[in-house]
Structures are given as structure tokens and as C-alpha cells.
Amino acid sequence: MKTVIEGKVYDPLNGKVFNGRITVEKGKIKRVEPGGTGREIITPPFIDSHVHIESSLLTPAQFAAALAPFGVISAVADPHEIANVLGTEGVKFMVENGKSVPVKLFFAAPSCVPASPLSKAGAVLGVKEVEELLKLKEVKSLGEVMNFPGVINREEKVMAKIEAAKRVKKPIDGHAPGLKGEEARKYFEAGISTDHESTTLEEAEEKIKLGVYIQIREGSAARNFRKLFPLIEKYPEKVMLCTDDRSPDDLTSGTINRLVETAIEEGISPLKALRAASVNPIIHYKLPVGLLRPGDPADFLILESLKPLTVKSVYCNGRKIAHNGTPLFVPPAISQTLNNFQAEKITEEEIRITALREFVKTIIATDGELITDKACLKARKIKNNLCSDTDNDVLKLVVVNRYGEKRIGVGFIKGFNLKRGALAMSIAHDHHNIIALGASDREIVQAVNRVIEVGGGISLHAGNRNITIPLPIAGLMSNSNVKSLAAKVTEIKTELQNLGCRLKNPLITLSFMALEVIPKLKLTDKGLFDSERFELTPLYC
């Protein structure tokens, strides 16, 4: 069957805009020729160059159905969240589930499972396991190498994984928050070619000059686009777009399409914005995604306009997969779920802190950032126990091991402003133990134990009220669709606001308070971790 599409063709690969006609046969582009009529715009599809699907709480198939209407038909997903829970079995589940829908989801082989030698996760991916995953055709890169001290110091096991990727000629993704100067040079000279952790133009430009592709990130918690978008105009061939971590309620309003739209509104050339969203990731990761060339897969978008950017139809391999904001495919239901959840319920006694001193090292969370600060603050003392001080926003933070080891880390955090209640989740990057904070020990314990009851999920407990989102797939994902999950997440966020929280994305912010490879201070089930010194640190100042 032959299909002819006419309109204004935006060709970011060759930097051209022309009235054209595209002929599609058997899922391929047969011809691209000038002379077509029509006011609609034809562009290559959008690619999310770095994302953790698990953060959406969706399966890969449901994730694809959520993104397709926005013109995102492909992504390079790093499944290190589920890998930390289930190892290679979890990664292969993601790959197979992604293949069940008519999109082009690709994956990275997780390089740091666990995130560091000091983190206890549910699985370990050694060199052998990484080599096995790199052989899969759906795996297009080595996932972000978060153990940057290991790279800088050329540690044997870290470098063996990097060399494994080089042998199969697959790129190596980076994770270098704040690295500059000699440390940055040593890190990227190891062969790492991307970074999505830059937060300033100065940092990003230094990395670009080292030959690195900068992935401008706009997730639900980490929002760097407004600071970094000028790079698209200045370095159009060295910039990609990504979301990294995006919650289901945010996904309903758009993704990479919104970044392209914003860039154009800010004066970036449409062709350069489209290049960042499609050409660069396709070329860098060698994705089998079409770029409007004869012989390419017939992957393209039909837009009604660029300002605002309105996606009318989405094609993948010549098949229309979305139209007017609706996916034209239904993800299959999952017949069997995978999990690794062995936590036992906790008691208030187990999270009590004897007041040996009053001042404690406290994590300072910032809205819109994954990097935390640290301070020495006074905790509230009740009957010789240190407790949450809601008046001064110094809340108790707890991490509970969920893999069968009865180990609990307890510390304090500032920035959530919760006046009542407690929030607990089995989403705690990257080990995905249970993380919780709250206004009182009693409510923290109630929220944690509810997560344990359902075998993983999100639980908000305040007084007699509880809102729970069960996540039966690895304690990370649900088989529900994006609209259903978005409604539940919105309900929890609204209740958190009612309880005093002022963070825009408290769930994702909380989920990163245990990730020890992002500076400066985090909490694991083993205790407080100083990411700058890369070692455990005492609670008391």
C-alpha cells in the first residue's frame, strides 16, 4: 500500500525547510520530493535521549502509549531502577514489554548496580551480566556511569564495563554532576560521551569542549532546561533533550514536545530545536529511526503548527500510532508480575534516636534539584529522643531495607515543610529500599508499614486518612494507564500541599534523597552518606 503525505517539510538533518511530498511504501520512505502543497508540517519524530521509565510508575508499554500522542516514538531508557531490584531478569522484562507495542523503545545496559559499592540493592550486575545485556540488539549503550570516583581512579571493575561497551561499539552514557577541570577530563577521557547532569552553562560548555554530548534535562524534579537551552543555538550538533525522571501527572501535559516548543518560543531556530530532539540522538545511539530520507523507516510527525507545537498525527514504520492526542494502540495486560520485596514491618522503637547531642547533620532538599546541601541543625528533643521539628522544618527521614536485612537508616531533612502526616515509598534511587519522612514517628511507621503490606508502593498517612498507590511490579511500577496513575499521584500531591508541603514534585524529590552518588548529603539504610567524601558519615555534628 502506497501513502503520499504532503506539507511543509522540516528537515533538521540537512537544515532545510521546503514544500514537499513524501511517498511511503511498505513501512519505508520511498521518495522525498519538492512541490507538495498543504499547510501541515512534517518533521522527524522526537526521541527522549535518556529516561528511566520506572519513574513514571508505568510499564514500558503504558509509557509508550502515554508518549506517542506527543510525537515521542522512541527513547533510550536506562532500566537501572528495576535492575537494582531484579537484576538482568528485570531488564529483560522491560525489553520484552517494550516490544509489545508499535513504538521503538531502546535501552541501556545498567552500569552501576548497585549505584556504588556502599549501597545494598536487590541485585548486582557485574561485568559478565553487563556484557550479556550489551549483546541485545535493543540495548544501544552502556547506562550512565554514576560511580565517577571509580572512573577517575580507573578502578578495575568499572573500567571493565566501559571496555565491554567499547568492544561492541556502543556509546557510554555519563553521570557527572558538578565535575570540572582535571576530574572532568579524566572522567570523559575514559570514553564516556554524554552527560545529563549539568546545571549551569559554564559546566555544560566545559564538557562540550571535551567532546561530550550534553543532554538537556527537564524532569519532574530536576529542571535544567531554562538555564541550558541557549546551548541548542550555539552547539546544535552537541545537544540532545531528555527527561530523565518524569512522574505520570507531568507526562499527561507533554514531554520532549514541550521542550522543542519552549526552545522555539525563546528564539531558537526550529531546525536546531528539532535537531536536538531527533537527529542527534538517532545518530549518536545509531537508532533505527527514520530521518525523512528515502529508504528510512517511515517515522515522522504531522504537526498543525510549531507555535504552539501541536501534534496531529504520529507515524512509526508507516503506521499511524497516534492521532489528535490519542494513542491508536492498546498495551497488553501483564499476566505475571515480578517483585523482590522481603521487608518486615517496623516499630517506633526502631526509628528512635537517643539524644546524645542536639545538633545533627541535616539534608537540605531544594525544589527542582537532585543535588542537596547540608547543614548542622538543632533537632527537637522529646524525652531524650530526637524527633521531627515541624516548626523549623527539620523532619525525620528513614530508609528501611526491603531485601530481607533488618536494617534502618535514620536522619533528618529540611525543605519539605510537612506539618502533619508522613509519606513513604518503595521508590528510593537506586537501591529502592523504602524511604519515608514525616511529622511524627507514629505516622512514619504507619506509612512505612502500609507500603510493606501492599508489597511496594506509595503511602501517605495523616491522622486516620491513608492514600496508597500499590506498585506490584518490582515495587516500582503499576500496570495502570497514565491517566489513572496521574489522578492518584495528583491526589497525594494535593494532600501533601494541604499538610504544608510546598515542593512541586515531593514524590520524586523524596525518591532521590537516598541516592548516594549525587552530592552532597544523602541517607541510605546504612546511615548518612557524604557524597563529596564518598563515605558514610556520623549523624551528629
E strands, 392-501, in order? 395-400, 408-414, 422-425, 434-438, 457-462, 465-470
Instruction: Give the full edge-to-edge strand order of the sheet including 535-536.
Output: 521-524, 527-530, 535-536
Say what the pLDDT of residue 371 is: 83
CB atoms within 10 A of CB 391: 8
Q: Scanning the structure block, which residue is given the C-alpha cell 492498546?
A: 330
DSSP secondary structure letter of residue 440:
S
DSSP secondary structure letter of residue 334:
P
Cα 293 from chain centroid (whole Å):
31
Residue 54 grid cell:
520506572
Residue 461 grid cell:
498517612
The answer to whether the peptide bond before residue 299 is cis (omega within 30 degrees of 0) is no
Say what the pLDDT of residue 22 is: 96
Task: Say if strands 326-327 and 319-323 run parallel, antiparallel, or are unpaired.
Answer: antiparallel
Beta bridge partners of 381: 386
Contact 303, 310 (CB under 8 A): yes
Residue 403 grid cell:
531485601
Report helix, strand and coil shares of the chain as percent, to nearest 5: 30, 30, 40
Closest CA to 27 of 247, 297, 384: 297
Helix then strand count (H, E) for the chain reads 17, 29
Beta bridge partners of 424: 436, 459
- pLDDT by residue for the chain (541 residues), tens digit each? 789 999 999 999 999 999 999 999 999 999 999 987 888 999 999 999 999 999 999 999 999 999 999 999 999 999 999 999 999 999 999 999 999 999 999 999 999 998 776 767 899 999 999 999 999 999 999 999 988 889 999 999 999 999 999 999 999 999 998 999 999 999 999 999 999 999 999 999 999 999 999 999 998 877 899 999 999 999 999 999 999 999 999 999 999 999 999 999 999 999 999 999 999 999 999 999 999 999 999 999 999 999 999 999 999 999 999 999 999 999 998 877 899 999 999 999 999 999 998 899 999 998 867 789 999 999 999 999 999 999 999 999 999 999 988 899 999 999 999 999 999 999 999 899 999 999 999 999 999 999 999 999 999 999 889 999 999 999 999 999 999 999 999 999 999 999 999 998 899 899 999 988 788 999 999 999 998 888 899 999 9
CB atoms within 10 A of CB 149: 15
Say what the pLDDT of residue 368 is: 67
Task: Phi first, then psi: give them for residue 327, nearest 5 degrees.
Answer: -70, 145
Say what the pLDDT of residue 335 is: 77
pTM of the entire predicted model: 0.92
Residue type, 212: V
Residues contacting residue 242 through CB under 8 Å, at least 6 positions apart: 48, 49, 50, 51, 196, 215, 216, 217, 218, 256
Say what the pLDDT of residue 41 is: 97
- Cβ density class 184-221: b for 16+ within 10 Å, e for less: beebbebbbbbbbbbbeeebbbbbbeeebbbbbbbbbb
Residue 191 grid cell:
570514553
Q: Scanning the structure block, which residue is given the C-alpha cell 537540605?
A: 364
Question: CA torsion sign, 378 to 379 to 380 to 385?
Answer: negative
Alpha-carbon distance values, 126 to 162, 356, 405, 411 (Å): 12, 41, 22, 31
